[in-house]
Structure 1
Amino acid sequence: MNPFSSSLATVTALTLACASSLYATDAQAWGKTGHRITGKIAESYLSEDARAAITALLGPESLAEASTYADEMRSNPSEFWQETANPFHYVTLNEPHNYHAEDCPPQGDAMSALTEFTATLQDPQASRDEKQLALRFIVHIIGDLHQPLHVGSAALADRGGNDVKVVFFGEQSNLHRVWDSGLVDHQQLSYSEFSHWLQRKISVQQAASWVTPDPYTWISESSKLRDEVYPETDEPYLGWDYVYNYTPVMKTRLQQGGVRIAAYLNHVFAKGQS
């Protein structure tokens, strides 16, 4: 059995599991620039089958454009966007680095949403609108799970760093926001410039080593990085030293997120899968 298929079946069983959610609804991984970077990079690694299926669903809409839809719709007054979809951007782990059934709260999380949206893409009875929503959310969720602070810790209980107040280059912020957008925006590059720079530096060997459609792997990686990114003092000033130390990590996670969006969609849209 394909190990990803086994993992996906396991995740499906998690949607009814219970645990406490520690995030507020303001968490937005990578911000628009970061998400668009992962979507743009992904387009370079799509299979022909995946590319054709995506074009059939989205038409001229790129994955970079699709990647921010789940955040742009947060102000939609419908119950889905105001209630149901809020937990779909993150996971919270009870153990340090591994996702288990009890980590999924009753309202769901990024893992359960990824499973449900994948099932929608593979459901011949699902409408085009339903599949468009599913595809856009999948691209977004995979990007989310590569941002270290979107894999929260129940032990820390700090809403993925939202409660960790910092000063980033003289401006009041929090650690989560620094990782969502601060480090990325500090580069002062457009998403197209940044994605071009990052994609050019992905070697064939790196891409091959990163190609895994298994979300358990992404989560484990992010959780280990999460433990490393916290500042050493309360209410610290984060400046050039922090940028120097963690910009390489941020860049790698954006590169990996892009490669893995493609890997996941290549699997989903492989002939016989959808």
Structure 2
Amino acid sequence: MAAAPSAYAWGSLGHTTVAYIAQNLVSQDTKKFAQRILNDTSASYLANVATWADNYRYTTEGAFSAPLHYIDALDSPPKQCNVNYERDCPEEGCIVSAIANYSTRAVTKDVGLAEQQKALKWVIHFVGDIHQPLHVENLEVGGNFINVTFNGARTNLHAAWDTAIPQKLIGNFSLATAEKWAANLTNEIKRGTYKKESKAWSKGLKAKKPVDSAMVWASDANSLVCSTVVPHGPDAVRNQEISGAYYETAIPVVTKQIAKAGFRLAAWLDAIVENAGKDVIKGDDGKYGLSKREFKFADWQLEAKAKRAAFGDDCGCGADHAH
């Protein structure tokens, strides 16, 4: 069961942990803003909605949002990892344009409270998603086509990073488990392992430039595809058992990405709340997607895009898992 595909990038455990870390770090003004918008003054006000976006995309109303959970970097790992906004974010949008758009809407009163609430819930979720390396990578549809085994159970590389790897370390999901992991990681950020390096985690974060800010996070996570996810190429892990040496290499990276996501979510929420009403937050011209532009794709990139289109936004196992 530990390796069973999950409905959520990072799994419910990862996403909820990210939200709890953010709760531990946000300013009092941000806390009050979020609790008011979400109509929740409980001790889990962000954590309670951390996985809403995944449930919503499986509804008729929310189906349009499925492609907004990722950006398919058309790079060539492990030889080269890079993500390019113009090249990789289609007109219908991607996780980068979604973070920009919904960050704007979350603090814009004119859209109405219901829309502000949905926007905030998307931001909470998407900032988590963008820190999962295989959510910013096209290779074999974000690793969904790379079959592996974990603790003897058949799964794929994407699902393993989402759920099996963190759950082997922490255990199955519960709010209490996520809150405890978040407390430990918050302590590492404030006083421990991540104290020094976390000072650089907010580099490039500017409320005035949400696309640029999100691209810093996307590029950071994408680089891990080459260094950690498939450092020797996909065939080195395909059909292999990865709960041993591979897990030991991956788990410190997964842990740090969860910590980074929580830290950056807090910093980002603080930034957009602080700048609300100052006409400085620009969210991709108010669109879900991008203005039309030309980009010349290589043949292999066109084939990769076609493969993603044929695959769709779901991995084929219903609501149990998606890219």
What interval of TM-score do these two structures reach, taking the shorter chain for normalisation? 0.7 to 0.9
Counterpart check, 1:142 vs 2:127: yes
The one-letter amino acid of 1:260's match is R
Distance change >3 Å, CA 207–CA 234, structure 1 → 2: closer
2:229 is matched with 229
Q: Which ranges of structure 1 fall in alignment gaps of 5 or more residues?
A: 1-25
* Aligned partner of residue 137 in structure 2, secondary structure: strand
Indicate if the aligned counterparts of 1:50 and 1:269 stay in contact, CA closer than 8 A: yes
* Aligned partner of residue 111 in structure 2, secondary structure: coil
* Aligned partner of residue 22 in structure 2, secondary structure: helix
Counterpart check, 1:121 vs 2:101: no
Distance change >3 Å, CA 217–CA 27, structure 1 → 2: farther
Report the TM-score, using the length of structure 1 for normalisation: 0.83
Indicate if the aligned counterparts of 1:41 and 1:199 stay in contact, CA closer than 8 A: yes
Whole-Å separation in 2 of the counterparts to 1:111 and 1:191: 26
Indicate if the aligned counterparts of 2:147 and 2:157 stay in contact, CA closer than 8 A: yes
Q: Which ranges of structure 2 fall in alignment gaps of 5 or more residues?
A: 1-5, 76-80, 172-176, 206-212, 279-323
Per-residue deviation at 1:124? 2.6
Correspondent of 1:32 among 2, 8, 12: 12
**Which stretch shows the higher mean deviation, 217-226 or 205-214?**
205-214
Indicate if the aligned counterparts of 1:28 and 1:89 stay in contact, CA closer than 8 A: no
The one-letter amino acid of 2:135's match is H
Indicate if the aligned counterparts of 1:99 and 1:219 stay in contact, CA closer than 8 A: no
Whole-Å separation in 2 of the counterparts to 1:137 and 1:102: 23
Per-residue deviation at 1:74? 3.2
Correspondent of 1:195 among 174, 182, 185: 182
Counterpart check, 1:175 vs 2:179: no
Aligned CA RMSD, in angstroms, stands at 1.8
Distance change >3 Å, CA 256–CA 188, structure 1 → 2: closer
Whole-Å separation in 2 of the counterparts to 1:71 and 1:28: 6
Whole-Å separation in 2 of the counterparts to 1:271 and 1:210: 20
Q: For residues 105-128 of structure 1, what are the alpha-carbon distances to aligned partners after superposition, in whole Å with 9 as ceiling and x for unaligned?
A: 122111111111112123231111
**Which stretch shows the higher mean deviation, 171-180 or 237-246?**
237-246
User: 1:9-158 counterparts in 2 under 5 A?
Assistant: 28-58=8-38, 59-60=40-41, 62-78=45-61, 81-82=62-63, 84-95=64-75, 96-153=81-138, 156=139, 158=140
Whole-Å separation in 2 of the counterparts to 1:100 and 1:237: 34
Indicate if the aligned counterparts of 1:38 and 1:255 stay in contact, CA closer than 8 A: yes
* Aligned partner of residue 142 in structure 2, secondary structure: coil
Whole-Å separation in 2 of the counterparts to 1:273 and 1:149: 35
Distance change >3 Å, CA 255–CA 273, structure 1 → 2: farther
Per-residue deviation at 1:52? 1.7
1:19 is matched with none
Whole-Å separation in 1 of the counterparts to 2:160 and 2:50: 20
Q: How many residues align?
A: 243
Q: For residues 205-233 of structure 1, what are the alpha-carbon distances to aligned partners after superposition, in whole Å with 9 as ceiling and x for unaligned?
A: 33322124321111111111012312624
Indicate if the aligned counterparts of 1:27 and 1:89 stay in contact, CA closer than 8 A: no
Distance change >3 Å, CA 130–CA 205, structure 1 → 2: same
Indicate if the aligned counterparts of 1:91 and 1:109 stay in contact, CA closer than 8 A: yes
2:199 is matched with 208
Per-residue deviation at 1:150? 0.4
Per-residue deviation at 1:163? 0.4
Report the TM-score, using the length of structure 2 for normalisation: 0.71
